[in-house]
Structure 1
Amino acid sequence: MPGHDKERRGGSAIAWYRLDAGAVLEQLQSGEHGLDEADALERGERYGPNQLPERAGRPAWLKFIAHFNDVLIYILLAAAVLTGVMGHWVDTVVILGVVVINALIGFYQENSAEKSLQGIRGMLSSRAHVVRGGGKRDIDAAELVPGDIVTLRPGDRIPADLRLLEVHNLRVEEAILTGESTVVTKQRDAIADEVMIGDRTNLAYSGTTVSAGTATGVVIAIGEQTELGHINGMLAAVEVQQTPLLLQMQRLGKGILYLILVVMALLFVFSVVLHDLPIGELLLALISLAVAAVPEGLPAIISIILSMGVQSMARKNAIIRKLPTVETLGAMTVICSDKTGTLTMNEMTVKAVLLADGGYLVEGESYEPVGALSAEASGEVLDPSGLPAMTQFIAAVHLCNDAQLRQGDDGRWQIIGAPTAGALQVLAAKTGLRFDDAELIDKIPFDSAYKYQATLHRIDRANRILVTGAPDVLFAMAESELGEGGVRPFRRDFWEAEMARYARLGLRMVAAAYKPADVDVRRIEHADLGDGVVFLGIAAMMDPPRPEAIEAIAVCQQAGIRVKMITGDHPETAMAIGKMLGMRDWQDAVTGARLEHMSDEELGRVAADHDIFARTSPEHKLRLVRALQARGEVVGMTGDGVNDAPALKQADVGIAMGIKGTEVTKEAADMVLADDNFASIARAVTEGRRVYDNLKKTILFILPTNLAQGLLVVVALLAGTTIPLTPLQILWMNMATSTTLAFGLAFEPAEAGMMRRKPRAPGKSILDLHGVWRIGLVGVLIAGSAFWLEAWLIGRGHGDAFIRSVLLQTLVMAQWVYMFNCRIQDRFSLNASMFSNAGLWLATVVLALLQLAIFQVPAMNRVFGTEPLPLAYWGIASLIGLAVFVVVELEKCLVNRWQRKAAAA
């Protein structure tokens, strides 16, 4: 990919890390004394400020207007205009009120993605230490230009992308870009091979932080040309993905629109030609049809159900930022997860200690200093104080160590210092061994040029040089090794073979050694380690997988959701963690170097076939998400660093870490995990599937009523008779009673076996053939009952207002009993669980109060054209509703019997 393996500057692409320092300075026309002021000013005008570009968001009024862009809203707006022209102002006001309420609900749901870009801009350094004209200056970081010489000190936030020229023990925290949990040791030499971001050790990146050491570097990229700027550009370019639910609702809305338009056109022609109806009366009837057929309350009901899902997920540590995300979680087919901190603890932990006489396993999964030591061969738990060689090893890793282990006010154990050194301090604390009498005399700090550190300690009235560092470096020093029987010749072959075994398990290793020193020695130099070094052993450590993540991955795989690990870490580590997590395809890790040169088509195949991707860059993550989406997958993506933000925004569900995640990542995400725990994702998927089931039940509940209302209007026009209900009465049913009853379905609990179902097909309509059949059946039943009742009432000489009141109550009662039918789609609906759903009974009470109000309150009678009903007619409406309930339950029984026979055949 252009710009991924090369640094960008002024439109050119140069692999700066592959050039030596002299060639870099020559290419940039700079020198060790820096630029002069005139040259810096000229370059500032040419390249612009060292800032990320501002992007203006849409004004609030435009966002509000956008929520009227819906086909069903168009129908209602047209109906409002026509009723206004005809002078039916009450109808107009009510219809417009419904439209505005729906728009307001959508407006307050919307979250601005611009905050994520502001978050990235906030990560840039505000000041920079530069060398210009041979003198050192402190300037605004925005004034930096390519070719400037920048000095770095501990704690500095690096102000631009730099090619390092001089390095003194420089270590940089790059997790925001690479996702790697450990600090990166930097150097100045050119790198011959093409490598990914995490392996470009002679570059320092804008926005990362100096953990230790000092350095001097030359600016090779500023502003949007930096790696951080590149991520910012990718984030801004990512288009917001429409959720499966919104796509399905758009298709449903268009289907209803086309059906209404066709029916209205045919009825208009039919009524004008055959019945010669007055245009005003005909238009009012057609408006009634439009209002009847449009499920006005559906957007509000969907918002209510989604909002309840949001509250439920928040109680389970999953904070939803965008309402449709609730449903999308239930549709996920792939979860792409970062490793560090999500699948793992992000707490480096020693898992084994290798000494000359054998290996020892160390229990414990975090920084908490609790865990026993046991012999690797026998499993016997051992007391470290009874093992002289172990005691010497623990003394070395504890005393020759700059990290500190502390317990915070919240009870959590924390490491102050490098994670690797911290893991050794936790190991020492687990053993219970103490060395309070040890006195530090002198030390050689860790230096990347030597890859070890050493201390001179007085222990038990004797001086001893303690050394910790890279095993291969200490191998070269060692002349002997310490076993339980004493000092003996060093066996390099043994140690290298054992180290290779641990490396295959994805463990990182730190070695320890010592050398006796004279009592009068007060200082140590590197030369003092030239001979007489006694090798002690190796600590093998890793960032362990979360125990709950192992269970959660098993749940996801059972639910048909494939979990993929995309990390900036090394392949061996990623595969070892994948095996421990129980991932299906852990044997082969695809590296970023392989992904780099793949076409989109080839990348799509690899993304589908493999589950572990290592040494990846932000652009690789984004391409992988897009490749999976192109294959029809609904993709969730987790992450915590700014390097994850573009992929999170591109994913159907972006999932950010709430504790260790950056603000940039949280703003780009759809969901934030309050506990940084992958298991919370599995719980959120369960809730998402429950919400989708309840949404489907709600749609199957609402649409038959709309169909019944539409049939009343259509048949009346075809017959040339009076419309049974007024537009306001129809709106009352759609907005007041339907919404109230649908609220009861929102509380339905998850159905048994839900997480053993495969994810639904992303393109599958929310209404299958059986759903359409059920809507048609119930709609015809309700409409037929209403026509029969209307004819019976006309025969008894009742007036229009009374007949409409009885019909309105009958339709509402049919809605109420059909709500119970919708609780369970394929079994008998009345069971014990319905008494635990308080929403059903709350909705019933509210509905009764609303119906009493519309029939018994004089003001409501005048507005809606209703009359008080004798008790007998409430009973007739209830009997018709009961008949509808029985017919639907019989239909369930017959359909289930037919499906079982078809499956058996």
Structure 2
Amino acid sequence: MQEKKWYNIEAGHVLEQLKTNEKQGLTNEEAAARQGQYGKNELPVGKVEPKWKKFFKHFHDVLIYVLLAAALITVILGHYIDTVVILLVAVINAVIGYVQENKAEKALNGIRNMLSLKANVIRGGLRTEVASKELVPGDIVLLRAGDKVPADLRVLRADNLKVEESPLTGESVSVEKRIETLPEDTVLGDRKNMVFSGTAIASGSGLGVVVATGEQTEIGKINRSMTQVEELQTPLLKQTAKFGKMISVVILFGAAAMFLFGYIFHDYEASELLLAVIGLAVAAIPEGLPAILSIILALGVQTMASNNAIVRNLPSVETLGAVSVICSDKTGTLTKNEMTVTSLILAEKEFDITGTGYEPAGQIEWNGQEADLETDAALKDFLTCVKTVNEASLYQDEQGQWVINGEPTESCLVTVAEKANQPVAKLESLSKIPFDSAYKYMASLVEVDGEKVIYVKGAPDRLFEMAGLEAGSSERTLWEEKMKKQAQMGKRVIGAAMKKVSSDVTTIDHVDVQSGLTLLGLAGIIDPPREEAIVAVSECKKAGIVVKMITGDHKETAIAIGNQLGIGDGTRAIEGRELDQMTPEQLKQAAVDYDVFARTSPENKLQLVQALQEHGHICAMTGDGVNDAPALKRADIGVAMGIKGTEVSKDASQMVLVDDNFRTIVNAVREGRRVYDNLKKTILFILPTNGAEAFLIFAAILFGTMMPLTPVQILWVNMITAVTISLAIAFEKLEKGTMERPPREPDTKLLSPYYIFRIVFVSLLIGGGILAMNAELMNNGYDQAMVNTVTLQALVIAQLFHLFNCRSERNFALTKDFFTNKIAFLVAGLLIFIQLGVTYLPFMNTVLGTAPIPADYWIIPVLIGFAVFVIVEIEKWITRKVVAARASR
């Protein structure tokens, strides 16, 4: 059943094939029998996984394993406070993941909630109301304005029937329906003899026969797509998973090798050696890293929220920084989804209209000057006509937003009249001819200055005939050229005309307007690009990000809007029907070759996102309709509109734009790049601590000397540096030139060769300096508690100095921006205060095994830290020179 192309079958044959009758419909017995065959008209509910299982699945992650391993070690060491803290971080990560998963499931519920609850049908020759879930193929359904369509229907009768399909197709204007058979290759947005489940009747009435129910409807196919779409792992999670595995393997083999070496070559007791090896493992595991990564991402989420971008899961913050392609829906995303008159073409003048959307802000201009209705009678006649022959109204809601009541194309004509330099009257209609698609115009009889006038508004080609402009005449050709020029700019054109009649005329009919009209002019109407979106697309190009427009709108309109936005070359676009005929390889190539995609189906959007991902792109997809939901879910970053977006699109996305502003995406990408850079700087800062500690333990086992730090002290250093001074890096500002560099490659390693060099270099620098200090202290006969305390302080102070190296990856630390990050100095003060407590508070001496040290002993840690800072800055200077030399070759 679902394979039939009902739009390609003549209406009478559709009824025959479904064995039903337009006047009688199905009997209740036939409907019941068919429901047994086709099932209920509702979307299937998948198998529900137990909540406890969903929760514990979120512990299945390498980062969590690292945390749990660290917690186990702290239990073994009896350091129960740290155990609680580490486990708390692991549980919080799991809770965040669990909450996000539940939100994703709401996307499917949102689709189900779009379905109509009741339907008016003809059963056994009688009109009756039934529950929508009881509908079956062959049911005859009556449609009227305000109804939600309960199933996919083939239209049998259409009386000025217009349907709002933007949530499903992305079409910005309600679609006029008819009954004529359509070609087999007609795309979803052009199937004008079909109405679809979940859409709404905007005006008129009609009759249709059910051809698809439940999962077989177009909205059902979207629901099925969403359940089948595989959500991709973010680049950061992929990188940290590899990083975690690498750390685990290195620690396992390193600890085993050192245990064997110490046991064979040195006279260590097994228990003492095991404690030393555990200390080595504790030293090597960056326990605080997962926590600080989560904190940095959470801070990124907060920053984005303050800039109108709500990010729904932490790793998505970083993913934004890697985006290389943004696939954007047109309607409501790049454009305002508010029809706007941008030009008025009269017989002798052409006017430009400023301002966009339904808000009556802007003016009517001619030659750069505001037009004056006092001196321009033709303009006044035109505006009076389009405002009078109009069923729409415009008003401000409680939030101050300008909203419409009526057809968008009529409403924007009210707006343009309001932009005139003086009020334009809406005259009282003495008699009307309502609009109908059969004749494509509407008219009103009014009284103007004591004279009776008929104002007419409608399709220009009909008005040309009614105004006596013969085909091929110079005047008709001139008007047609003007109309063609507007159409090439993607504009819809509405005409206005008038006719003076005798004062005794009280009613009008079609015969009264078939001749003798005077053409007043044309209005060019378009859903205009957002002004800020044009700027945002330009910024994306500078950042090496390609913007592609994927819309359900017509090809010419898509090209014109794309050209205004700076998307595409202004001449090329490809339609969904062409994509449908391509092989997978051809489609994959088309996804890269074209930037404008028109008349696309939900399947096309999903296919294009997948094709771009196969090319190695990190893909963001924006949208606001149900039709966007599968692609939003599949994309690396799905971005939904917060104001005009459907709940389904919001629930399927990873980010919601509170202000529906495309520019907000660029701001989010900027923040994503800053967050990623700061994540890398954090790793560059934290790992040398672990490296230096591991080096000290390794050297002690290798040479058979006293352990410079106990496992508890190592754990303290790891946690205190992670949760205090490393936090300062999260607040570092975006470095100059970040938004002028291309996006990083998806397979970029978290640790580049240079990072590995820096980590090893600084680890040896800190570890070597402390090792030399330890040798001197032990040679002078100091006890272990004193040596351990000075060693601990030297590690912490060295890392404190190294923090200022890491605030910029390669640039000089002491610049004019040195004091911009106040948090760095705040946490530095906090760390010094804590470390004084570690040294001089008796209970801390007991817990950590430290001892009070004379004031002059602080000089050694400070000197080591200062030396680290200077030497690393020299290394950065050398690195800059080498990189610059290579670049100049």
For Structure 1 versus Structure 2, the TM-score category normalised by the shorter chain is over 0.9
Corresponding residue for residue 368 of structure 1: 359
Aligned mate of 2:8, from 18, 27, 47: 18
Q: What's the offset of the Cα at 1:880? A: 1.0
Name the aligned partner's letter for residue 90 of structure 1: G
CA contact (8 A) 1:50 1:222 kept: yes
Alignment partners' CA distance in 2, 1:266 and 1:72: 24
Task: Report the TM-score, using the length of structure 1 for normalisation.
Answer: 0.94
CA contact (8 A) 2:64 2:90 kept: no
Corresponding residue for residue 345 of structure 2: 354
Q: What's the offset of the Cα at 1:434? A: 4.5
Corresponding residue for residue 56 of structure 2: 65
- After TM superposition, list the pairs within 5 Å mapping 1:73-88 onto structure 2: 73-74=64-65, 77=68, 88=76
Name the aligned partner's letter for residue 790 of structure 2: V
Q: Which moved more, 1:726-735 or 1:12-21?
A: 726-735
Corresponding residue for residue 153 of structure 1: 144
- 1:758 and 1:539, CA in 2 relative to 1: closer, same or farther beyond 3 A? same
Corresponding residue for residue 208 of structure 1: 199
- After TM superposition, list the pairs within 5 Å mapping 1:613-692 onto structure 2: 613-692=597-676
Name the aligned partner's letter for residue 410 of structure 2: A
Alignment partners' CA distance in 2, 1:664 and 1:221: 21
- After TM superposition, list the pairs within 5 Å mapping 1:459-538 onto structure 2: 459-479=448-468, 491-538=475-522
Name the aligned partner's letter for residue 767 of structure 2: A
Name the aligned partner's letter for residue 274 of structure 2: L
CA contact (8 A) 1:389 1:536 kept: yes
Alignment partners' CA distance in 2, 1:79 and 1:826: 32
- Provide Cα deviations, 1:428-453, integer angstroms capped at 9, x if missing partner: 11124556483211212211222221
Q: What's the offset of the Cα at 1:193? A: 4.3
Name the aligned partner's letter for residue 558 of structure 1: K
Q: Which moved more, 1:810-819 or 1:283-292?
A: 283-292
- 1:436 and 1:825, CA in 2 relative to 1: closer, same or farther beyond 3 A? closer
CA contact (8 A) 1:456 1:463 kept: yes
SS where residue 31 of structure 2 aligns?
Answer: helix
Tell whether 2:418 aligns with 1:429: yes
- 1:588 and 1:230, CA in 2 relative to 1: closer, same or farther beyond 3 A? same
Corresponding residue for residue 89 of structure 2: 101
Task: Report the TM-score, using the length of structure 2 for normalisation.
Answer: 0.96
Q: What's the offset of the Cα at 1:111? A: 0.8
Alignment partners' CA distance in 2, 1:210 and 1:352: 30
Corresponding residue for residue 408 of structure 1: 397
SS where residue 385 of structure 1 aligns?
Answer: coil
Tell whether 2:371 aligns with 1:382: yes
Q: What's the offset of the Cα at 1:58? A: 4.5
Corresponding residue for residue 308 of structure 2: 317
Alignment partners' CA distance in 2, 1:60 and 1:884: 51
Alignment partners' CA distance in 2, 1:852 and 1:66: 42
Name the aligned partner's letter for residue 418 of structure 1: E
Corresponding residue for residue 130 of structure 1: 121
- After TM superposition, list the pairs within 5 Å mapping 1:843-858 onto structure 2: 843-858=827-842
Tell whether 2:172 aligns with 1:184: no
Q: Which moved more, 1:893-902 or 1:699-708?
A: 893-902
How large is the Cα RMSD of the aligned pairs?
2.0
CA contact (8 A) 2:673 2:738 kept: yes
- 1:273 and 1:166, CA in 2 relative to 1: closer, same or farther beyond 3 A? same
Corresponding residue for residue 114 of structure 1: 105
- Provide Cα deviations, 1:659-710, integer angstroms capped at 9, x if missing partner: 1111111111111111111111111111111111111110100111111111
Corresponding residue for residue 453 of structure 1: 442
- 1:423 and 1:724, CA in 2 relative to 1: closer, same or farther beyond 3 A? same
Q: What's the offset of the Cα at 1:89? A: 5.5
CA contact (8 A) 2:384 2:426 kept: no
Name the aligned partner's letter for residue 387 of structure 1: D
- 1:63 and 1:739, CA in 2 relative to 1: closer, same or farther beyond 3 A? farther
Alignment partners' CA distance in 2, 1:792 and 1:427: 86
Q: What's the offset of the Cα at 1:903? A: 2.6
- 1:141 and 1:802, CA in 2 relative to 1: closer, same or farther beyond 3 A? same
CA contact (8 A) 2:326 2:619 kept: yes
Gaps of 5+ in 2: none
Name the aligned partner's letter for residue 343 of structure 1: L
SS where residue 431 of structure 1 aligns?
Answer: coil
Gaps of 5+ in 1: 1-8, 482-488
Alignment partners' CA distance in 1, 2:637 and 2:7: 35
Alignment partners' CA distance in 1, 2:454 and 2:16: 45
CA contact (8 A) 2:387 2:426 kept: no
Q: What's the offset of the Cα at 1:528? A: 2.8
Alignment partners' CA distance in 2, 1:104 and 1:62: 16
Tell whether 2:786 aligns with 1:795: no
- 1:323 and 1:78, CA in 2 relative to 1: closer, same or farther beyond 3 A? closer
Name the aligned partner's letter for residue 245 of structure 2: K
CA contact (8 A) 2:417 2:424 kept: no
Aligned length: 883
Q: Which moved more, 1:626-635 or 1:530-539?
A: 530-539
Tell whether 2:692 aligns with 1:708: yes
CA contact (8 A) 2:383 2:424 kept: no
Name the aligned partner's letter for residue 300 of structure 2: G
Alignment partners' CA distance in 1, 2:387 and 2:166: 26
- 1:875 and 1:59, CA in 2 relative to 1: closer, same or farther beyond 3 A? farther
- After TM superposition, list the pairs within 5 Å mapping 1:859-874 onto structure 2: 859-874=843-858
Q: What's the offset of the Cα at 1:412? A: 3.0
CA contact (8 A) 2:469 2:476 kept: no
Alignment partners' CA distance in 2, 1:745 and 1:182: 49
- 1:593 and 1:310, CA in 2 relative to 1: closer, same or farther beyond 3 A? same
CA contact (8 A) 1:373 1:384 kept: no
Q: What's the offset of the Cα at 1:42? A: 1.4
CA contact (8 A) 1:586 1:612 kept: no
Tell whether 2:12 aligns with 1:28: no
Alignment partners' CA distance in 2, 1:788 and 1:835: 33
CA contact (8 A) 1:186 1:448 kept: no
Aligned mate of 2:329, from 332, 338, 350: 338
Identity rate of aligned residues, in percent? 49
CA contact (8 A) 2:684 2:759 kept: yes
SS where residue 721 of structure 2 aligns?
Answer: helix
CA contact (8 A) 2:63 2:240 kept: no
CA contact (8 A) 1:76 1:290 kept: no
Name the aligned partner's letter for residue 11 of structure 2: A
Name the aligned partner's letter for residue 703 of structure 1: L
SS where residue 731 of structure 2 aligns?
Answer: coil
Name the aligned partner's letter for residue 625 of structure 1: V
Q: Which moved more, 1:524-533 or 1:738-747?
A: 524-533
CA contact (8 A) 1:72 1:257 kept: no
SS where residue 139 of structure 1 aligns?
Answer: strand
- Provide Cα deviations, 1:214-248, integer angstroms capped at 9, x if missing partner: 11111111111111111111112112211111111
Corresponding residue for residue 4 of structure 1: none
- 1:387 and 1:802, CA in 2 relative to 1: closer, same or farther beyond 3 A? same
SS where residue 660 of structure 1 aligns?
Answer: coil
Tell whether 2:739 aligns with 1:763: no
Name the aligned partner's letter for residue 861 of structure 1: N
SS where residue 465 of structure 1 aligns?
Answer: strand
Alignment partners' CA distance in 1, 2:142 and 2:437: 18
- After TM superposition, list the pairs within 5 Å mapping 1:734-745 onto structure 2: 734-745=718-729
Corresponding residue for residue 438 of structure 1: 427
Aligned mate of 2:770, from 786, 791, 801: 786
- 1:143 and 1:584, CA in 2 relative to 1: closer, same or farther beyond 3 A? closer
Alignment partners' CA distance in 1, 2:61 and 2:620: 27
SS where residue 331 of structure 1 aligns?
Answer: coil
CA contact (8 A) 2:638 2:653 kept: yes
CA contact (8 A) 2:692 2:763 kept: yes
Corresponding residue for residue 6 of structure 1: none
Alignment partners' CA distance in 2, 1:176 and 1:447: 25
SS where residue 406 of structure 1 aligns?
Answer: strand
